[in-house]
Amino acid sequence: MPGITVDRDMCKGCELCNLYCPQGIIGMSKEINTKGYFFAQVHDPGRCIGCMLCAVTCPDQAILFHGTGVQYRLYDYFPAGQPGSK
Ligand code: SF4
Ligand code: SF4
């Protein structure tokens, strides 16, 4: 299963990863890091598809990607009750 780890003290809280994650699973912390920023956190890691958009978007290389490949799960993009939905 793919996944990411955010280095909380390298993060400057710019929220680009939050903006670009197609799964919408990255949010910002409620506490601050050693630099004084609210840092990025993954709030639903089981839904990560491994696209790496967050990692390549991060200007500070604060995101480490784990795993291989992209898991496209089209049902994640259909509203409930539509073809392909859970
Ligand atoms: S790898 Fe893709 S799906 Fe996973 S957290 Fe990063 S942007 Fe989101
Ligand atoms: S893109 Fe990088 S620096 Fe910006 S909030 Fe995400 S992890 Fe932090």
Show me where the domains of the chain are located: 3-66
In which element (H, E) is residue 86 found? none
Checking if the pLDDT of 72 tops 70, the result is no
pTM of the model: 0.82
Q: What's the fold here for domain 3-66?
A: Alpha-Beta Plaits (3.30.70)
Q: What percent of the chain has pLDDT over 90?
A: 67
Cα–Cα distance, 62 to 17 (Å, whole number) = 10
Q: Name residues whose C-beta falls within 8 Å of residue 61's C-beta, 6 or more positions apart in sequence.
A: 10, 55
Return the CA Rg of the chain: 14
Q: Which residue would you say has higher pLDDT here, 81 or 21?
A: 21
Q: What is the pLDDT of residue 75?
A: 53
pLDDT digits (tens, 9 = 90+) for 28-67: 999 999 999 999 999 999 999 889 999 999 999 999 998 8
User: Which residues line ligand 1 at a C-beta cut-off of 6 Å?
Assistant: 4, 21-23, 25-26, 42, 48-54
Pocket test for ligand 1, best of 11, 48, 58, 76 (most atoms within 8 A of CB): 48
Task: Give how far Cα 40 sits from Cα of 13, 33, 56, 62, 74, Å.
Answer: 6, 10, 15, 9, 25
Atom of ligand 1 nearest to the CA of 20: 7
